[in-house]
Structure 1
Amino acid sequence: IQRNYDLSDTPGLYLPGRGLQAKRAFAKNLDAFPFPEDHLWAASSITEDAEFLLPFQTRRGCPMNCSYCSTSTIEGEIFRKHAPALVVEEIARQAEKGFDRFFFVDNTFNLPASYATELCEELAAAELDITWRCILYPWKIDEKLVRLMVKAGCREVSLGFESGCEPVLQRLNKQYNSQDVRQIAQILGDHGIHRMGFLLLGGPGETKESVEESLQFADSLDLEVVKVTTGIRIYPHTALARIALADGVISEDDDLLQPRFYLAEGLQDWLPETVHSWLAERPNWVT
């Protein structure tokens, strides 16, 4: 820009009045990128915070295409992964600096299952004195993987099951059902993993009855924490954005840079009040 170069052939760049300049290409080899320069933060002050977890992303991309999620737009639909050995090497380096709690921020730690297994095997073999949490997609998780996760240091998981109503799960384009969620939650609990469940209420087709069904389902799982969100944020280039446009929730002119939310008709007042009443009786539920 300083040298006044012509940027019109730069893939993925938006130019005023000209739109997108060719489709952005995704890097295939994540190992070609360096890990963050950790001299830019003060490890000693951070590690003294008992609540701090060092974030770590081992892969990019997601093929699941949940109706509201922006990951496939931002990162692509194909999984691109760091070599497990390099991940463990970097975590070991950070552990030497005093970090002992990590958060794998990958949207679907358990997918692909083969990669999750290999990564956990590498972590377990390294015998690092660390613990970690991750985000699980409640599908294709068995007791063998959970045991391996625990051996590798997993102590907490975020379990975004979003709903306990089958038609709503289908509208969100989820590949699992409520029975999958129940089974996985049970396995995780049996192995002593702290479970934080997530409910996402108010999307397309949501009704008072489906909300009640989801709340009762979440309650029956007996999770350590449940986080409830009312209304679903609308991100560009998602199925939810197309539905919101068709339903008149947003217009063609909305760039969605400022947060906009989808909340099914008829739930605007009732849903927040209902969730508030449920939370009042459940101290481990949050919004």
Structure 2
Amino acid sequence: MLKQQASSQNGAVSQNNNQKVSEMIDNYRQAKGNDEETAVNLRQAILQTMKDNPHLLEQRDNVTFLAHEIKAEEIAELNWDSPDHMVEFSDSLYQTRFKNDEFAQQLRQHATILLRRALYHFEEEEENLEKMFRLMRLVPTYLVDQNEELSRLRYRANAYEIRRVRRSRRSLYGYLFLQIILVLLVFPFLFINAENGRLQNQVEQLADVEIGDEGYQLLSYSEGVYWAVITAASIGYGDITPTTTTGRIIAGTLGTMGVITVGILAGLVLDWITPRQIP
């Protein structure tokens, strides 16, 4: 019920805005050539209303007015709330259902200039380049090829992506190197000393408690490495198992770390090492 009421209210607001813009367009056409000051004020009011209500671009008369009467620079120089708002309106121009009509070229020019202005905002700061890259992937290829500035921004976005991939690769290699050190050196050492009782005794002395585990086992370094690799890979043959409380804690930690590592690598390795491309 509430959804129906909200939908009904939105429809009423949309209809009121359409009627309001239609009246202003009619008044503008009457004032044009007779009262330039009134015509200029009406142009600004129409633009402001369309800017705040992109759905108005679904009406043919509104789009016709925008294509024939408004210069692209006028739209770009409006007081936009944010670059995201500019991109949203630009996308509405690209996606208008009248884009194949005779004034499609003017609409594309409006959208391109507005999008370019929005992208400039993202280009100024390094942390916004990711957003600029994603937006550039949405721009039709033929528009980028035809516009020198958009081509430059595409090059800048692709250069950012190459740097991002290089940083990600370094992080990935560092993470893998750390995992190798842990699995081949640290965890085997801890597990061997836990199972032969040395680490267990140290824990009991430091904590001033007596764990009381029995059944210590003597393992070689090669057996410790074998156990660590099998545990980290979540295989767990069971031929070497922890017999002490400390050893079980170490085994649980390594097993959990192995599962997390495999999950992370499976989900991110392709994105980390493969650069995305802007067509």
TM-score by length of 1: 0.26
User: Which of the two has higher C-alpha Rg?
Assistant: 2
More strand by share: 1
Relative to its length, the structure with more helix (as a share) is 2
TM-score by length of 2: 0.27
